[in-house]
Amino acid sequence: MKAIPHHAFRPLKGRFQRKLVKISINYPNARENSIRQIGSYAFYYLSNLRSIDLSVNSIEKVHKNAFSFRWESTEMLTINLAGNNLTDNNIESGAFVELQRPVKLILGQGEYGNPGLRHLEERVFRPLLNENEKNIITLSSSEHPSNGNRLQCDCQSRWIFNEIGKVRNGLRDVMCVSNGSWECLPPCLVFGQDLLHCGSNQYFNIEDVFYSLNRNLQPEEKHFKRF
């Protein structure tokens, strides 16, 4: 099975597959047989899905509306795409729109990531976060055994940080590689609740930076950890 085609799960004899709540297709030991593409509206009629696990495949193309659904739901849907060949350029704009339910998108998990994914492209991932305030995207950066699953922090990544350098709501365990350019970014970046990185090549007034952090962070976030 090399692809999940467009409109893959059509009604069978006019009946919708409402009992299907989980799809799991993984090829850890046979990558030559693994999935490479996800077509448009692939899961469109599967209104009761709770989990789509396509981790550890060779996905190199995600088409527009790949994860769009026909009906609304209040149940969280987990989409696991860790361990694939996703890059900055092979996920089409609109791949994660019209999901009509809260979504947790996993792009990294333990040792599995998407090494070619150097940025979270705004055109692809911002619509997902904007669609539902409960939506989550995680790279599990801190869990990778060799500091993988991290992004390049540069102008292209500016949108994932707010004005004080805090990672945007909905992004979980998303961190930067240590040799990023830090261009266009706030002087200090806050990751999660206890990681602070000051790695900018810009000049800044340290009193201004920490005054801004103290004013804007929540009480439980006002502690620091060496890493």
Distance of CA 65 to the CA centre of its chain: 16
Helix ranges restricted to H, 35-111: none
Phi, psi of 219 (to 5 degrees): -55, -40
Reported pTM: 0.84
Residues 150-186 have pLDDT tens digits of 898 888 999 998 877 788 899 998 888 866 677 787 7
Give the architecture (CATH level 2) of 1-150.
Alpha-Beta Horseshoe (3.80)
Residues 60-85: pLDDT tens digits? 999 999 999 999 999 999 999 999 99
The per-residue pLDDT for 163 is 78
Q: Calculate mean pLDDT across residues 34-60.
A: 95
Phi, psi of 167 (to 5 degrees): -60, 135
Predicted local distance difference test score (pLDDT) of residue 227? 35
With contact defined as beta carbons under 8 Å apart, do 113 and 84 qualify?
A: no
| Residues facing residue 106 across a β-bridge | 80, 138
Q: What are phi and psi of 112, to 5 degrees?
A: -95, 130
Average pLDDT value for residue range 203-220: 57
Domains of the chain: which residue ranges? 1-150
Does position 23 have pLDDT exceeding 60, yes or no? yes
- The H helix count followed by the E strand count for the chain is 2, 11
> What pLDDT score was predicted for residue 193?
55
